[in-house]
């Protein structure tokens, strides 16, 4: 059977862990060639070894313009062009009151979550034009839609990602580049533990627990997994979504429509 991404080349930031890793695996299974861009080099080289000839790892801190440019250009030099950019790298933050958040912290969070995807789009668009178009997907969050799901700096940055995706969709449509956002709900990844400063291995173990607890309140009572978001990214990356741009796709087991317990 033909893969849904046969012949396509993708760059996935935050590609060695959680949602990004799940998306690398699914995109490769669907026929894509992928550059996984991240700052965890050891995991990156293991990923390259798992998928020889299909995945290249790029060390890329999304706060660094030159590293994003190099990761995007690696797709072109290694695999012949760029069709899909999944701006997915991210961090979380611990809950704290606005009076306790200093200017540096605001800058750090916005640099990773907002400026990173912006620079990714900046460098990807010209390469996509050379291919006649492309698809950009930005990971936002349900925290960007409703207050209360995350810390204030994180949540407001994710709201910015949703609107930046709309603005970019309008601007890039004449170039046949589609731009959409995905709003994950609570997904079993190490992001929660990592935001508490726990070592990655411990954070990985915590992930399943967080999603299992969330599942108890969701209308769809199963833990959210990286593959649930990867499937949404696959749809937005593939030609199946050729008529879809400037939107945000909520993938949250229904938790934002209300708790199962309130019925
Ligand atoms: P994760 O921690 O498993 O993966 C995040 C990845 O981003 C890691 O590999 C990390 O090394 C990388 N990263 C962090 N800072 C980076 C930087 N400066 N440059 C490049 N890479 C960097 O977490 P995840 O849950 O898979 O997160 C992926 C995205 O999903 C994030 O944008 C996150 O905000 C978003 N999200 C997650 C959830 C959830 O419940 N897990 C919910 C909503 C949104």
CB atoms within 10 A of CB 151: 20
> Ligand 1 center to residue 117 CA distance, Å?
12
What is the CA angle 187-197-61, rounded to 5? 75
| pLDDT tops 90 at residue 208 | no
- Cα–Cα distance between 158 and 15 in angstroms, integer? 19
* Window from 111-120, 222-231, 252-261 with minimum mean pLDDT: 252-261
CATH superfamily of 9-191+226-253: NAD(P)-binding Rossmann-like Domain (3.40.50.720)
Q: What is the pLDDT of residue 62?
A: 98
| pLDDT tops 90 at residue 193 | no
The two three-digit tokens of residue 56, written as one number: 């290249």
Q: What is the pLDDT of residue 263?
A: 45
Using left for φ > 0, alpha for ψ between -120 and 50, and beta otherwise, residue 233 falls in alpha
| pLDDT tops 80 at residue 196 | no
Mean pLDDT of 39-48: 98
Q: What is the pLDDT of residue 204?
A: 75
Closest CA to 86 of 256, 254, 238: 238
- Between 128 and 92, name the one with better pLDDT: 128
- Cα–Cα distance between 44 and 145 in angstroms, integer? 32
> Ligand 1 center to residue 18 CA distance, Å?
7
Q: Is 154 known to be catalytic?
A: yes
Q: Is 40 in the pocket of ligand 1 (CB under 6 A)?
A: yes
Percent of the chain at pLDDT above 70?
A: 98
- State the average pLDDT for the chain: 95
| Confidence bin at 96 (pLDDT 50/70/90) | confident
Q: What is the pLDDT of residue 171?
A: 98
Catalytic-role residue among 57, 110, 154, 235: 154
pTM above threshold 0.90: yes
């Amino acid at each position: 059977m033909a893969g849904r991404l046969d012949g396509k080349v993708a760059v996935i930031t935050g590609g060695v862990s959680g949602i990004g890793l799940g998306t690398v695996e699914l995109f490769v299974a669907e026929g894509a060639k992928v550059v996984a861009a991240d700052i965890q080099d050891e995991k990156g080289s293991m990923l390259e070894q798992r998928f020889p000839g299909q995945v290249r790892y790029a060390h890329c801190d999304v706060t660094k313009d030159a590293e994003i440019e190099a990761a995007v250009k690696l797709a072109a030099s290694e695999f012949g062009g760029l069709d899909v950019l999944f701006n997915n790298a991210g961090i979380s933050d611990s809950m704290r009151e606005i009076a306790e958040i200093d200017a540096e912290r605001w800058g750090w969070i916005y640099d990773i979550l907002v400026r990173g995807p912006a620079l990714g789009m900046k460098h990807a668009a010209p390469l996509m034009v050379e291919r006649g178009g492309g698809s950009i997907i930005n990971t936002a969050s349900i925290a960007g839609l409703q207050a209360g799901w995350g810390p204030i700096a994180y949540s407001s940055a994710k709201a910015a990602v949703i609107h930046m995706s709309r603005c970019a969709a309008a601007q890039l449509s004449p170039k046949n580049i589609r731009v959409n956002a995905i709003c994950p709900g609570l997904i079993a990844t190490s992001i929660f533990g990592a935001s508490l400063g726990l070592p990655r291995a411990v954070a990985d173990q915590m992930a399943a627990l967080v999603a299992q607890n969330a599942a108890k309140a969701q209308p769809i009572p199963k833990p959210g997994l990286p593959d649930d978001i990867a499937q949404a990214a696959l749809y937005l990356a593939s030609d199946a979504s050729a008529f879809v741009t400037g939107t945000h796709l909520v993938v949250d087991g229904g938790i934002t429509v209300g708790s199962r317990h309130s019925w």
